[in-house]
A and B are shown apart, each in its own frame.
Chain A
Amino acid sequence: MSEVIVFVIFAAVALVGAISMVSARNPVYSAMGLLSTMFSLAVLYVVLDAHLVAAVQVIIYAGAVMTLFLFVIMLIGVDKADAYGRQVPAQRIMTFVVAIGFFAAIALAARSAWITGSGAFGDPEMNGTIEAVSDELFGTWTIVFLSTVMLLTIAAVGTIALAYFGAEVEDEEALL
């Protein structure tokens, strides 16, 4: 029963956060809305006994990604209001169609799996998510995992190389 109560509360918080994220006029409030949504999702993961996913959700999304967003918003300044008038042609109709499609997809998914029930809330037997995930990650999927690591490293090194050497060439041109 307790998991249902927690679910209802935090699902509501997640929805309110999501709505305020798109409806807030001030980008910092939007960022806060997104943050509360991500946080509620973390709580929902805890309810589902996915503790590791919850921690990672908070560390990566709330801790790293949103801090970066907030940093950028604060640095570029939020006094300039965005041009709300600028619209893609037939934006409202397209939004409507996409929203209908989205809700149809949810309804379809909900038909097969609405609430399937979960393990007991806080069941100590389920408290092994780190071990289970790391067994899969470093056992079954080692090669895939390492390839992903390589991909990300290449992207980071490439970004630094492009930014660094590009700046150097520009400086030379400026000198010439």
Chain B
Amino acid sequence: MTIFIEAGIKVLLAFVFLLVTVLLLVWAERKWVSDLQNRIGPERAGPFGILQTLADGMKLFFKESLTPTKAEFGIYIAAPVIALLPALLIFLVIPIGAPIEINGTEYTLQVVDLNIGLLYILALSSIAVYAVALAGWASGSKYPLLGSVRAAAQMISYEAAMGLALVPVVMFAGSASIATIVEGQQGTFGSFVPAWNIVLLPSFVIFLIAGFAETNRAPFDLVEAESEIVGGYHTEYSGIRFAFFFLAEYINIFNISALTVTLFLGGWGGPVPTGLPTAIQWVLPIVYFLIKTWAVVFFFVWVRATMPRMRYDQLMSFGWKRLIPVSLVWIMLCAVALGFRNFGAPWS
């Protein structure tokens, strides 16, 4: 029974953490983008406008949720929920800190460590496609439909690249469990370079690019290209239903950043001096994790403020003709390298 109580508390904490993160993330993005574009950005609600997201959220909550006449009602209201669920669930397998020990019991700072962790993430991100496809179709309107067809094609294409980019990580870690992958990165090369998986550079780059496409962010935001198809799949959504899509998108950005850190940048790893009070030893890994993740988040925002949107055919040919072949070749190279390491040279 304790296992269920522990899991329940962790799930609750994780959701609160995610919601607070999204509040900060939306504000931070608006501030960063406005700085990059030489504007002031939100400044009225709270100090530095930090409560702006909260105000917007309240506004969305009290606004009327319109339903188009041609909408397919059941699926129309189910789509925002389907968008939010995978976003919340993916975060549950990401460890945000080193395991801590209280009264002789070890608690991991992730809700659950699955043996199939990476596959779980891939499975859930494939569910996210449904939200976009169904939202566009159920709106009964042409811009959402165009946006959702684009989205489905884009997410399926880049999911393949993302899955292939993760294969070398699993090969070198020898496990698909997220906790094991993070622990495998805690050592150092030559006692000063951290042994992060970023040495698998092609995988890292492909994963990051595919992450941009999966979260429908610039330069791959064709799904909601304002200049062409209004808002894309969520054009017909308003009020709290739109807020769900918005929330899901920003949780996904944080998830992808946290995953990038977890899989390639050493997760919660970092120098923890011995001899410090226990509390600081618990908190330091969390701080390292958050610093790294927010750095990746900043990179996401930076790219959005810098890069123009790609054309749709460029997007598709880049995914299928560049990313996937490159990741396949890279997997083969990794397999050869592992073969040398494990069995020695074939001619010796």
Contacts and interface: CB of A to CB of B under 8 A. Distances in A.
Interface of A: 2, 26, 28-29, 32, 35, 51-52, 54-56, 58-59, 62-64, 67, 70-71, 74-75, 122, 127-130
Interface in B107-157: 114-116, 119-120, 122-124, 126-127, 129-130, 133-134, 137-138, 145, 148-149, 152, 156
A71 B152 CA distance: 8
B229 interface: no
Nearest to B163: A59
Contacts of A130: 115-116, 176
A122 B149 contact: no
17 contacts: A28-B72, A28-B137, A29-B74, A32-B75, A55-B122, A58-B127, A63-B123, A63-B129, A64-B156, A67-B130, A67-B133, A70-B134, A75-B149, A128-B115, A129-B115, A130-B115, A130-B176
Interface residues on B, range: 20 to 34
B105 to A, nearest CB: 15
Closest 10 CB pairs of A and B: A63-B126, A55-B119, A58-B123, A127-B115, A55-B116, A59-B123, A51-B116, A74-B137, A55-B123, A67-B129
Given A51-B114, A67-B126, A59 B152 contact: no
B329 interface: no
B116 A62 contact: no
Contacts of B126: 58-59, 62-64, 67
Given A59-B122, A128-B115, A28 B75 contact: yes
Where chain B touches its partner, the secondary structure class is helix
Interface of B: 3-4, 72, 74-75, 114-116, 119-120, 122-124, 126-127, 129-130, 133-134, 137-138, 145, 148-149, 152, 156, 159, 176
A63 B127 contact: yes
Contacts of A67: 126, 129-130, 133, 152, 156
Given A58-B126, A59-B123, A71 B114 contact: no
A2 B152 CA distance: 37
A129 B177 CA distance: 12
B129 A59 contact: no
B164 to A, nearest CB: 13
Centre residue among B114, B115, B134 by max chain A CB count within 10 A:
B115
B114 A74 contact: no
B169 to A, nearest CB: 14
Contacts of A54: 116
A70 B75 contact: no
B1 to A, nearest CB: 9
A59 B126 CA distance: 7
Nearest to B127: A62
B172 to A, nearest CB: 15
Contacts of A35: 130
Contacts of B114: 51
Contacts of A52: 116, 119
A147 B138 CA distance: 43
Contacts of B116: 51-52, 54-55, 129-130
Contacts of B130: 35, 67, 70
Given A59-B123, A62-B123, A67-B126, A74 B145 contact: yes
Given A63-B126, A71-B133, A74-B133, 16 more contacts: A26-B72, A51-B115, A52-B116, A56-B119, A59-B123, A62-B127, A67-B129, A67-B152, A70-B130, A70-B133, A70-B134, A71-B149, A74-B148, A74-B149, A75-B149, A127-B115
A31 to B, nearest CB: 9
Contacts of A55: 116, 119-120, 122-123
Centre residue among A59, A64, A128 by max chain B CB count within 10 A:
A59
Contacts of A64: 126, 156
Contacts of B3: 122
A144 to B, nearest CB: 20
Nearest to B1: A2
Contacts of A2: 4
Nearest to B123: A58
Contacts of B152: 67, 70-71
Contacts of B74: 29
Nearest to B138: A28
A74 B148 CA distance: 10
Contacts of B133: 67, 70-71, 74
B301 to A, nearest CB: 29
Nearest to B133: A70
A117 B176 CA distance: 28
Centre residue among B72, B123, B152 by max chain A CB count within 10 A:
B123
